[in-house]
Amino acid sequence: MHEYAVTQSLLKLVVDEAKRVEASKVLEIRLVIGDLSTIVDDSVQMYFDIMSEGTIAQGAKLVFRRVKAEFKCRECGEVFIKPTTGFDCPKCGGLGMPTGVGKEFYIESLEIE
């Protein structure tokens, strides 16, 4: 449910920036979302469609780019993409710890007119 607040902030940032540069319309918003952020693309899209009605961002296309979660093994130091289940290192079987890659949530770019 945190997608509501996140989308509200996203829309405000986008509209404020578009107005700052005197754009008449926001056409596309490119978002980067890490797999560990727990943000659900479909929820952001749904809230955005509702919240953007009547703004210069109404009808803008949201483009989502997902970043895979990266882990580092505590035993051997191997850096790897988190497996579907568990946190085990594919090299030695040790416990992997998050590196910080995969927690992203930011606006990569805007297309405006």
Task: Determine if residue 76 is labeled as part of a ligand binding site.
Answer: yes
Residue 45 phi/psi, 5-degree rounding, is -60, -45
Structure tokens at 104: 């992203």
Nearest partner of 21 among 98, 94, 106, 109, judged by Cα: 109
Task: Determine if residue 73 is labeled as part of a ligand binding site.
Answer: yes
Task: Determine if residue 12 is labeled as part of a ligand binding site.
Answer: no
CA distance 87 to 104: 19
Nearest partner of 110 among 5, 33, 25, judged by Cα: 25
Task: Determine if residue 92 is labeled as part of a ligand binding site.
Answer: yes
CA 69 to chain CA mean position, Å = 12
Task: Determine if residue 89 is labeled as part of a ligand binding site.
Answer: yes
| Residue stretches of the annotated binding site for Zn(2+) | 73, 76, 89, 92
| Residue stretches of the annotated binding site | 2, 73, 76, 89, 92
| Residue stretches of the annotated binding site for Ni(2+) | 2
